Amino acid sequence: MLFSRLLPVGILAAVVHAQADSSSTTSSQSGVTVITGASEASVPTGSYLSLSTTITVSTSSSAVSTEAVVSTITSRSSTRTTTLGSTTIFAIGTLTLTGNATSSTSTATQIVLTGAGHTTTTALNGTSNSTATSTSSSVQPTNTTPCNNYVEFCDRSYGNITEVAAHNSPFIRAGSVAANQALSVTTQLNDGIRLLQGQIQWNGSVPHFCHTSCDVLDAGPITDWLSEVYDWVVDHPFDVVTILLGNGNYSNVDKYVPFIEQTGIQNYAFEPPKIPMALQDWPTLASMILSGKRVVIFMDYQANQTAYPWIIDEFTNMWETPFDPTNRSFPCFPERPPNLDDANSRTHLYMANHNLNYDITLLGNSLLVPYTPLLNVTNNVTGYGSLGLTVENCAANWGFPPKFLNVDFYNVGNGSVFEVAAKWNNVTYTRECCGLVESGATRLDMVGRSAVVVAMGVIGVVWLLM
């Protein structure tokens, strides 16, 4: 049995040895790219900004108005107008008023995104005394419009909601072992993904979403993907979406800005009132929705919030657990930024990288790719190596769950990743999951003898792990 399991690896070694004298090259055949010599760093690194200084950009709070909110966005050749309707803040709870009365409540607040005006008002934080005059005995309205799929989220802080992230969201090529997702970005958002992450590399003079190298997996220009996200955002006025741009080349942010601005997505971009933002500084989803600034854009390296306040430096605002983990225990400690102290770890957003990988080294190529045989376990609610256990451990370590759960192939598990998030948000996940999956045989985009090596390498690794 041991011999039979080692056989594919032995064949692989023989093939690799036969190619040992060939140099690292890049070539193309029938539109398929052949690559050798690419290497993926185990942990990205770059310059990190200090958390020691806080800059207050604006001290004014978000306005809450009873007037209709109309947002007009001009992008490319079209102009889109979104009307949110009349809005009022009301407290959740029982409040009986007769004529002129004074009342107090200790319940949380809820935003009403649609409905008629009302003469009754309450304190915005729902905890202080409030005086109200009522001219009607009608029951106070309650919100029925969900924010990010849940009514309960409208009055919660952005930092007080756990959401599922699509690791390498653009990398959806059917059958490629370098792919991380199976469904389009529109489907990802429809299913409930609320953070979209992707790595940028330069393909000539145009930034593309590429996995380590554009020779390995090229998902196309960032403008195509961002335009698709923009269209979804326009069509969903009650959703807050987060984008995390991985600066794979560590280029200055101003090189990317013209391409981002071509899509119009910056018109919806949230600009933080503080640099950096601590956990308690983030506004509610409702206030972001009402302001029209409901796309949060992070960049991991080389962000410059002085020049472009809408592109937020990731690591002064949010830390991450170990990058591209290969350890099924998924330890929950800050790896990036390095040397983050305990106090700052507990007062800032964080993202749990829960995507299990294994390393393929072929003809000089070192690639971390998703460990697909264990996806059902990795994305599960319970059990060793599961997403559910990871979040439980993180919450025990830091006193609160991660803001984002960064997963591969979120659709595997029939919504289990969303069920985990719902549990920690104290809501119930009842949606159907997930969209249709494209079919394709597992491959890495190489041809000829390289393709044979890749196929045998994958088979050998999987066979040994059976």
Q: Distance (Å, rounded) from C-alpha 116 to C-alpha 229?
A: 32
* Other CB atoms within 10 A of residue 126 CB: 19
Nearest to 444 by CA among 366, 330, 387: 366
Q: Distance (Å, rounded) from C-alpha 353 to C-alpha 321?
A: 6
Is 17 known to be catalytic? no
From the candidates 167, 208, 348, 354, give the one annotated as an active-site residue: 167
Q: Copy the structure tokens of residue 203.
A: 């393909």
Contact 148, 178 (CB under 8 A): no
Q: Say which residue the tokens 């598990």 belong to.
A: 413
Say which DSSP state 420 is in.
H
Is 167 known to be catalytic? yes
Give whole-number Cα distances, 257 to 80, 203, 252, 293, 405, in Å: 22, 16, 10, 18, 27
Say which DSSP state 60 is in.
P
Q: Copy the structure tokens of residue 99.
A: 């004529």
From the candidates 118, 208, 211, 354, give the one annotated as an active-site residue: 211
Q: Distance (Å, rounded) from C-alpha 175 to C-alpha 455?
A: 12
Exposed/middle/buried for 406, CB within 10 Å: 0-12, 13-18, 19+? buried
Q: Say which residue the tokens 């403008």 belong to.
A: 223
Phi and psi based region of residue 141 (left: phi greater than 0; alpha: psi -120 to 50; beta: remaining): beta
Nearest to 148 by CA among 408, 422, 434, 423: 422
List active site positions. 167, 211
